[in-house]
């Protein structure tokens, strides 16, 4: 499995406040995106590290040359400078948390 993806970092249901507290200790902010089915975010690059966690649904993600499926409770580390994309592959909305250091 990818060294960028931590399967089941937290158990479902994902508690946004608990994730925000964990990330704050690690030096990250915490925000929420809610995407409709099929929503894509393609070819982003940031000058800081990013964390993503699926709170509801499933995301197809690529970070650099690695691709994977992220599900509820999975945490993804996106290193600064890495080209990354994601797509909601659920039949309903996907909620996902993101944070920058």
- Of all residues in the chain, what percent carry a pLDDT higher than 70? 98
Query: Average pLDDT over the chain, rounded to whole?
Result: 96
pLDDT at 38: 96
Indicate if the pLDDT at residue 1 is higher than 80: no
Looking at residue 37, the DSSP 8-state letter turns out to be: T
**Cα separation, 44 vs 84, whole angstroms:** 5
User: Tens of pLDDT along 58-71?
Assistant: 999 999 999 999 99
Q: Is 57 helix (H, G, I), strand (E, B) or coil?
A: coil
Q: Residue 9 sits in a domain of what CATH number?
A: 2.60.120.10
């Amino acid at each position: 499995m990818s060294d960028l993806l931590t399967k089941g970092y937290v158990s479902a249901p994902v508690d946004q406040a608990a994730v925000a507290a964990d990330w704050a200790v690690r030096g990250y902010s915490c925000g929420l995106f809610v995407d409709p089915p099929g929503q894509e975010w393609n070819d982003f690059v940031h000058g800081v590290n990013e964390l993503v966690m699926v709170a509801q649904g499933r995301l197809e993600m690529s970070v650099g040359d690695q691709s994977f499926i992220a599900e509820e409770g999975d945490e993804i580390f996106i290193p600064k400078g890495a080209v990354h994309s994601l797509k909601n592959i659920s039949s309903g909305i996907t909620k996902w948390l993101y944070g920058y250091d």
